[in-house]
Amino acid sequence: MNQTNEFKPYIPADKVMPEITPVSIILGILLAVLFGGANAYLGLRVGMTVSASIPAAVISMGVIRVILRRDSILENNIVQTIGSAGESLAAGAIFTLPALFMWAQEGGTQTPSLIEIALIAFVGGVIGILFMIPLRTALIVQEHGTLPYPEGKACAEVLMAGEEGGASASTVFLGLGVSAVYKFIADGLCIFPSEVDFEIKSYKGSGIGMDVLPALLGVGYICGAKVSSYLLAGGTLGWFVIMPLIALFGGDAVIYPGTDPINTLAPFDLWGTYIRYIGAGAVAAGGIMSLIKSLPLIVRTFRQAVKGFGAKAGVSNRTTQDLPMNFVFIGIGVLAIFMWLCPVIPVNLLGAVIIIIFGFFFATVSSRMVGLVGSSNNPVSGMAIATLLISTMVLKATGMIGMTGMVAAISIGSIICIIAAIAGDTSQDLKTGFLVGSTPKNQQIGELIGVVASAITIGGVLYLLNAAWSYGTEQLPAPQAMLMKMVVEGVMNGNLPWALVFAGVFIAIVVEILGIPVLPFAVGLYLPIHLSTPMIVGGLVRLYFEKKKNETESDRKRKVENGVLYSSGLIAGEGLVGIMLAVFAVIKVDAEKNLGDVFNLSEKINLGNWGGLAFFALLTASLYFVMVKKKK
């Protein structure tokens, strides 16, 4: 506590500077929509999203400080606060809501309307922020020396190094431009395949390949070699151990849930029929184990939260002002009643109660978890799986069965998933504000603005991507949403291949006993190995510079930060062009052609697998050269 009382923010509490301004609101909303759309595409492709706080802060510095010649670190902080809300809301939505689209394609239910998606996202996002307001003092202030909040601290350092904002912003935009051109050549002009695939004939059942795309290189770099290696380890177990064993012992047998003889299945068929269920069991077990391990933290945080509820406001200065508690309680109550009574949201009274109870529980867990391990390692999907298992069983027990019950379960899971994602993002942003000296109330208003803007647009992004490629396809596997769909269907219909699921559960237990982080390993097992291989390349590039000898600490730090900024640009650029290509795929030129087919040059120029690998090597080289470039 003494440590907290002695802490002095970058901008003193008695100094007033511009924060919420028309410029910060407009720029923040633009970045929320930009990073929300890019992360939606990324998450639907690879099942992972990345924090948008740092790139949003860097772009904000470049625009406000360099172009507009305005000088307020607190204004820049509001921009990144609004901007990062789009990424978090997208993460929560894409892990669950595509399941509703997949059921609609199967003819089980109607496609969710834009209003339904927007309201689910809005309710989840606002409740997530409201739950975090009473937790701020306990987690951000009182535990300042205990919970580091790594992304929040890094974002504060970027903001405080304001004079470097222009140079840093140019690195993000360079990555965005390179990635956009690369993605258009690969998936727009189609002169080389974006997925390189090799089947190993002499080792039946196995295969290797790589999605040679900028976002995966960027994600691998940002996550680092260690996390990327866990993902690759899971993929290696699936594609080089379990699948060859299935092929060896299966022979010409037809094994449920498959409908064809094992010896007729290609590696991707083996993965889709069997490995996906093993991976689902591992991911579910990993998520639940991570929650069990954090129970002592949860109990402690709940105690502090209850004390915070009982404390009197007693605001003494600008940096201790939160939105009033009566606004928080009334807001949560109104939204709970709204969920229950609104005909557009398929949630009954029991569902609304489950959301409020589990929502506060997981908002607390999420905030504590990101404080310790960062947003990238926050097991939001694990929390969603735990919620879906319980809510589906409760709904089934109360007579809400069939498609009605499954849609209600996914809606409950989606709102709670968004609550957890937004609570984690809000925590990181409030930590940044605590360090730089922002007014918490203004940041909380900024988060609400970002959630409203993102909720309005996320439905359009989901509709567009589904219309272009459909969820569950090779172009948009939507791995997390597919997993949630399988869990709900399995519990409701009692037809999951439990032997495969439990095999995954016990693999996760073995991995936990060995001391390896379960969730990244399990996600690697659940996803095709083609997504892990490009990520390990990015991770190894970062590892090379982190371990390089004969370098000063400042040089090493500068190079690694250059890589983070460039990688953020790579992710954003691919996401934007992915959405643009989705627009092309929807616009029809005639009965047989869409606009995307007009650009497709694959029949005239096709460089094949080796061409794809050569382009990816050039992309990796560009990352290397950006890292080593000297600052002017």
- The secondary structure of 106-143 as a DSSP string is TTSSPPPPHHHHHHHHHHHHHHHHHHHHHHHIIIIITT
Q: Which two tokens stand for residue 169?
A: 């912003």
- Output the pLDDT for position 632: 54
Residues 88 and 450 sit within 8 Å (Cβ to Cβ): no
CA distance 394 to 297: 27
Select the more confidently predicted residue: 549 or 181.
181
pLDDT at 601: 85
| pLDDT confidence of residue 291 | 66
Instruction: Find, among 474, 456, 565, 545, the residue nearest to 116 by Cα.
Output: 456
Which of 147-151, 238-242, 506-510, 542-546 is least confident? 147-151
Predicted pLDDT at 469: 85
Instruction: Please determine, for residue 313, whether its predicted confidence score (pLDDT) is greater than 60.
Output: no
pTM of whole model > 0.85? no
pLDDT band at 443 (very low <50, low <70, confident <90, very high): very high
Q: What is the reported pLDDT for 315?
A: 47
Asked if the model's pLDDT at residue 576 lies above 80, the reply is no
What is the DSSP code (8-state) at residue 61? Answer: I
């982190």: which residue's tokens? Answer: 546
pLDDT at residue number 312: 47
Closest CA to 211 of 99, 45, 40, 65: 45
- Residue 297: how many CB atoms within 10 A of its CB? 16
Strand, helix or coil for residue 31: helix
Q: Tell me the C-alpha distance between 215 and 212, whole Å.
A: 9
- How confident is the model over 188-212, as pLDDT tens digits? 898 998 889 888 989 999 999 999 9
Cα separation, 374 vs 428, whole angstroms: 8
Average pLDDT score over residue span 332-357: 93
Average pLDDT over residues 319-337: 91
Average pLDDT rounded to a whole number, residues 497-521: 91
- Write the pLDDT tens digit of every residue in 266-294: 998 898 889 988 987 887 788 778 767 76
CB 77 within 8 A of CB 35: no
Ramachandran category for residue 190: left, alpha or beta (phi over 0 → left; psi -120 to 50 → alpha): left
With bands split at pLDDT 50, 70 and 90, how would you rate the model's confidence at 309? Answer: low
375 — pLDDT class (breaks 50, 70, 90):
low
Mean pLDDT of 450-460: 93
Percent of the chain whose predicted confidence (pLDDT) is above 70:
91
Residue entry with tokens 């795309």: 213
Give the separation between CA 436 and CA 445, rounded to whole angstroms: 17
Strand, coil or helix: what is 80? helix
Write the CA distances from 112 to 298, 346, 402, 583, integer angstroms: 35, 10, 17, 20
What is the pLDDT at residue 596? 79
How would residue 54 be classed by pLDDT, with cut points 50, 70 and 90? Answer: confident
Lowest-confidence pick of 223-237, 246-260, 262-276, 571-585: 571-585
In angstroms, the CA 394 to CA 496 distance is 18
Angle formed by the axes of helices 98-105 and 402-436, to 10°? 160
- Is the predicted pLDDT of residue 450 greater than 90, yes or no? yes
**Residue carrying structure tokens 């490009």:** 534
- CB contact at 8 A, 105 and 470: yes
Residue 114: predicted pLDDT: 92
According to the model, what pLDDT value does residue 301 have?
A: 58
Mean predicted lDDT score pLDDT of the chain: 85
Mean pLDDT lowest for which of 107-116, 222-231, 309-318, 415-424?
A: 309-318
What DSSP element (H or E) covers 208? Answer: strand 207-211
pLDDT at 3 over 60: no
As given in the structure block, the two tokens for residue 630 are 């000297």
pLDDT at 563 over 50: yes
